[in-house]
Structure formats: C-alpha cells, structure tokens
Amino acid sequence: MDAFFVEVERLADPSLVGRPVAVGGAGDRGVVASASYEARVHGVHSAMPMTFARRRCPDLRIVAPDHRRYAEVSEQVFEIFRSFTPIVEGLSVDEAFLDVSGLRLLYSDTDAIAADIRAQIRATLSLPASVGIAATKFIAKMASGRAKPDGVLRVPSGTETAFLHPLPVGELWGVGAATYASLAQLGVATIGDLASIPVASLVARLGDAMGHHLAGLSRGEDRRSVEPDTKAKSLSVEHTYEVDITGYDVLETEMLRHSDRLSGRLRRAGVSGRTVHIKVRFSDFSTVTRSMTLAGGTDVARDIYRAARELLTRLDVGSRPVRLLGVGVSGLDEGTGVRQLAVDRPAKWDELADAVADVRARYGADSVAPARVRGGGAAMEPASSRSEFASDVGASEGDENVPEEHRPSPDGNS
DNA sequence: TCTGGGGTCCTAGGACCC
DNA sequence: TCTGGGGTCCTAGGACCC
C-alpha cells in the first residue's frame, strides 16, 4: 500500500487530499510514521523526527496515528488478497507476498492479475496500491518499491541482474545504514559492485549469514517461498515519554501499566509467552535490555509485571532519567484452550484476568485498571467502581502481606 | 534535526549435557 | 593432570524492516 496511514486518514478527512501530510507523533519526541508524496517532495520521510519534518515543510499537516483503524483496513486489504490466492504472506500491516502461480490458467499474464488486484482495492477501499511482479520474493519486493506510487513493475525471469546491478546498494532489501557504511569501505556503491566482491570478503566483513545472504541477493538468487500463516514470535509494549521519568516508584507503575496492556494483547491473540523482556532507554539514548525465562508461559498481567519488576532491579537504574520503557514476551505458545498454570499461580488469577477482559469488552478498555495505574483516580470515582485487582497487583511488597479478604476474588467487584 | 512502536533475525558467550 | 566434539538453551546487544 502507498503511504498507507496517510491514505487511510484521507478517507476520513478529505481536506488532507493533495496536501503535504505526515502521520505520527506531534510532540517534541514524535517521528514521522507515514508521509504523503506531497510531503516527500519537501524531503519529509518516515522515521524522521517530526520537529525536523515541520521545519522542512512548514505547511505540513500532522495527524496522530490511529493504529486500530489501520489494522481494520489492513484486514480488508488482506481479505482481497486471499480472494485471489490462499498463499498470502503478510510482511507488515500494509504489504504482503502473494504466490499467484495457481492463477496461471485463469489469467492471460501476471500483469492482468496485478491490475485486477489493484482495481479491487481501489473499488472497495478507495486506496492506492503498488505491485511488484517477479519469480522471487526479494525481486518482487524491490520491484514494488520502484513501482510506487500507484504503479506496477514486472521484472521478467532472466532479467533480474539487469534490473538489480545498476541500483545503489542502499536500495537492497536488508542493507541499512550500518551495512551500507561497511560496504562503502569495500568500495561498493551499486548492487553490481556487490556482485563482483568475493563471498569470502563479504563474510569476513559482515558475518556468516549476512555475507552469504547479500552475495546471493546481488546475483538475484532467493530461494525463499511464500509462507502463509506465519505465527508471531514475540509481543511487546513500549512507550517514549514526552518528559523523562525518574525513580523506581514511577518506573514500576509504568511497568504495571505496560504489563496490563501486554496481557490484554496476549489474551486476545490466544497465546502465552515464557520469556519476559524489559527495555530501558536513558536520556542519552543508550538502551539496555534484560530478560528472564519463566518455568511456564503466561498471559497474566501480574506474572509479567512481577518478572519485569525483578528485571528492573537487576538493571540498577537508580535515579537515572528514562525516556523509554518497554516490556515484551517471546517464546510464544499457542494457548490450547487449557491454560498451563505456572507453579506459583493459583487459578483465580486466570479467572480474574478473564473477568477484567469481560468488563473491558463491555465497558471499554479504560473501564478497569490497576489502582496503582489509576493514580489519584480514587477521588473521581465511586469506590465501588474501582478494581480490587489493583491494590494487590500494584503492591511492591508482594501478596504475602495482603490479608486474604483484600485479595481479588473472581466473583467480586472485579 | 535528535531520534516511535512493533516486529524479525543474527551473533557471541556461557551454562549445561552427553 | 589437562583435556574432545557436539548439541541445546539462555541472555544481551545490534542490524534491519515498515
């Protein structure tokens, strides 16, 4: 999809059409997530700090992202893909590989398939899309990039190297800033230059996997097939604060908030994770991670939070200002319907989490939250609407000190 | 200019096992 | 007393992608 977030926003607000638009965070620490082609003319591109984008393009219209909406539209786009072929491999929210070899008998040629897919997207969703056609995934990916905006590019079999070799190495899928700098030292400017370097030199410079990988790509070789139904391997929640946060108390509260969100996403996805990771970025942008593997998988906020808190203490953050805090899980197992219980976790925590999920489904995501996360919210709400889950989950001293009657119960107000 | 949020994959060292 | 070869899992960091 072309400038996907921007184009989805334009459907909701036609005044954005034809103007330079950036979707992204408007605050001091925001970056551009998606830029319209009118904005790109001014040198605005994704991942650029928004303050810089604004300076480059004073007329820029800035729109806050609505990821839920993009996910909905994405699902509609993928439905169109799957109406052509079941072999669809999603690469991100707005792009996918389609293996259309099964459509050979239905269409005169692949250009006709591409035209049909684009027409369907245009007709049902009013969105522009571009298509790259090739015999391998990576050539198709590169071709789609050069087909944008709103175009089609086919690279016929046998012409792969002719297509690739004149292009700058930086355009090769998998070559970013660091690899680009390494290659520049080897005197490599184009993909053709890359193809002329001995594989051993590339491996020595870039490592085993990357060396062999790029050597193959530069020759147009890519044996990867289109893999539908790939499962997620990790899930995470992170946030960069407008103003740095400081001190364990605040860090723990924020970690609880993140753990709660992450738990909701795990449960909605029907998976549990066994390894918990935390990520801390300090004010100087240095970033550290810590992780620990649990005895069994979990999707419960309390378990994730406890691990995250433990990892936080290992980090010795002290009073250093923190700009980003994150938590994630990996080692995802499909929930089989029968949830595996961690040794030290009574079933009531699962029941509580189910109850919280029910309340949120009925009354909205903000209807219930740990008291610690609610902060001073008590004065704003009748006591009866507050969740008990909170006073315990948020307690830094653990449950041992919490009297039985104050522990959450699955059939209580929660 | 001052750097989001969500992912995937690779490397390298160490623990542990046979 | 000094030492193999192979494997798996865990952890931390980094590159890359959209």
Q: What is the pLDDT of residues A349-373, one digit of tens each?
A: 667 777 777 778 777 777 888 777 7
**pLDDT at residue A373, rounded to an integer:** 79
Question: What 8-state DSSP symbol labels residue A203?
Answer: H
pLDDT band for position A335 (50/70/90)? low
**pLDDT at residue A370, rounded to an integer:** 77
- Give which of A279, A274, A280 is closest to A292, Cα–Cα: A274
Residues with CB under 7 A from strand C: A 46-47, 91-95, 141, 145, 172-180, 274-275, 287-293, 314, 331
Q: Is the pLDDT of residue A394 over 70?
A: no
Check residues 317 to 376 of chain A and report those whose beta carbon is under 7 Å from nucleic acid strand B: 323-324, 326, 328, 330
Which residues of A are part of the catalytic machinery? 95
Average pLDDT over residues A230-237: 95
Average pLDDT over residues A382-389: 40
Integer distance in angstroms from CA A209 to C1' B12? 14
**pLDDT at residue A361, rounded to an integer:** 76
Residue A270 contacts strand B, CB under 7 A: no
Q: What is the pLDDT of residues A91-120, one digit of tens each?
A: 999 999 999 999 999 999 999 999 999 999
Average pLDDT over residues A241-268: 96
pLDDT band for position A316 (50/70/90)? confident
Residue with tokens 């079941």: A86
Distances (CA, A) of A220 to A101, A110, A153, A361: 19, 20, 16, 49
Residue A325's beta-bridge partner residues? A239, A280
CB atoms under 10 Å from CB of A184, counted, come to: 12
Residue A31: nearest nucleotide (C-alpha to C1'): B4
Residue nearest to nucleotide B8 (CA to C1'): A233
